[in-house]
Amino acid sequence: MGELDPDCVFCKIIRKEIPSVAVFEDEELFCFQDANPQAPTHLLLIPKRHVTGIDVATWKDADWLGRMLALVPSLAARTGIRKEGYRVVVNSGRAGGQTVFHLHLHLLGGRNMTWPPG
């Protein structure tokens, strides 16, 4: 799919240099359990190429970005949170709460979510 950043923690997870608990993997996307979960179910879904964040996405990325979102219901079903409900989050930039600058989608569930979230 593209280049990986040698210093990015998520790229290291994709390359299996850092262990993770994989939930889903295909040619373009990788999903794994968050090492610091904020809910009973907390998954991270990432592209298998280094994309710094949603703010750099363009129309050329629409196919794989659409696949990311379309994958969410099956991941929620697989982890048992689809029926009760779940939250999907994408943080953008430091002020938006992004701490790892590799695009990632959080899938959280297994408890009641509150609002506002942060």
pTM, full prediction: 0.94
CA of 12: how far to CAs of 32, 70, 85, 87, in Å? Answer: 13, 25, 31, 26
Q: Does domain 9-109 have CATH number 3.30.428.10?
A: yes
Distance in angstroms (rounded) separating the CA atoms of residues 68 and 117? 22
Domain coordinates of the chain in residue numbers? 9-109
Verify whether residue 104 is a known catalytic residue. Answer: yes
- 59 alpha carbon, distance to own chain's centre: 20
Q: Model confidence over 41-55: pLDDT tens digits?
A: 999 999 999 999 999
Computed over every residue of the chain, the mean pLDDT equals 95
Pick the catalytic residue from 42, 50, 104, 106: 104
Q: What is the pLDDT of residue 2?
A: 60
Does position 1 have pLDDT exceeding 70, yes or no? no
